[in-house]
Structures are given as structure tokens and as C-alpha cells.
Homo-oligomer: A and B are copies of this chain.
Amino acid sequence: MTRPVKSKNKEDILDLAIPLFAQSGYTGVSMRDIASAVGIKAASLYHHFPDKQTLYLQAMARAFEDKAQGFATALTVTGTPEKRLAGFVQIFTTLMCKDPEFRALLQRELLDGDEVRLKKIASEVFREPFVAMEALADELAPGCDAHMVAISIASLILYHLETAPIRRYLPGGKARHNKPEVISRHVTGLLLHGLKGCGK
């Protein structure tokens, strides 16, 4: 006797849609694609979501939820400001290395996201850890523009990962340049001591 296949709930559908949107973007994914990944027909999706927009927005909400908490964890390191920076960079880099889907969705939102969506991501995902980063920046470099410093720290980590597909073809590109230990070590040295410190 065959057991009936368990019905899918909204969360299951969103979890299957997220990697598709990360891979191909909103316009690159059809309702049929999502249905096919879930193992149902496209029409059945409309029992769970009124339209594609809504499905997408809920998938984004789910993909970004709990990220704020992960980032907050990266800022719980204690000790001197230097130690806390090193700890944050290491944990944040490892987190981002493990989550290429999150990175792709963020990149796509930066390109295509409307005001409402970006505002929501800013306040619900990044605001809290960003404020903590600014506070740390102010300790490490008093008088500097804390906003720019916080962005610079994120830049160094995220752009190394974002450029991975093309760095393969640029001189000196090695596989180890994508490892979180290598990136976080480089970034920490650079932040603390400038170019002179990046071999530390």
C-alpha cells in the first residue's frame, strides 16, 4: 500500500522557490518552474499565493529572516576592539561563504529591488548589526565616518565572494582565495594596518 505524498505547505514551497530565484532572478523563474520543483502543477500554487509577486515577496522575507540574528551573533565577541573586529570579520565571512543563496538574493535586490523592499531589508535585516558595526568603527577609528567604515568592512568581505566567478580568470586567482579563513585574515590585516598589514 502506497503512502500518499504529503501535501506541501506554504513554507515548503517558499524553501524550494528561494534557490530558483537566487539562481535566475524574478523574471528568470516561472510559476511552472516553481511548481515543477515542488512536484505539483502551476495552478496549485495559486491555492497558496494570489500571484507570483506575492510568492516572491514571501520567499524573500523567508530567505532574509533570521539573518539579522546570525549577524548579531558575529558581534558578540568580547575583548579589545581589535579582537572584536577580528572576531566579527571571521564569523561574518564564514556565514557569507556558507550562504551563496543569500548573497545572490541580496545582489539581485540591490540591482532590482524597489524602495519598499530595500527599506524593509535595511530595517529588518541589516539595521541592528550595522549600528553595532558603526559603534565598533567609532571605537577603532574615532572621528572617522562610521557609516563608511561599516560599509567598507562589508565590502571587503562580500566583494571577494561576489567576484569569485571572474577572479578565476584574473592573474593570481587561486582556489584558496575563496576560503573564509584566507579572506578574513586578509581583511582583518588590511583594516587594522592598511596595505602594510594585509600579510599579517
Using CB atoms and an 8 Å cutoff, list the residues of chain A in contact with chain B.
24-25, 27-28, 104, 107-113, 118-119, 121-123, 126-127, 130-131, 134, 137, 140-141, 143-152, 154-156, 158-160, 162-163, 165-174, 177, 182-183, 186-187, 190-199
Contacts and interface: CB of A to CB of B under 8 A. Distances in A.
Contacts of A126: 166, 170
A172 B147 contact: yes
Contact of A195 (B110, B144, B151, B159): B144
Contact of A151 (B141, B150, B163): B163
Contacts of A160: 148, 151-152, 155
A108 B166 CA distance: 12
Nearest to A200: B144
Contact of A134 (B108, B109, B171): B171
Contacts of A121: 166
Contact of A191 (B127, B144, B174, B195): B195
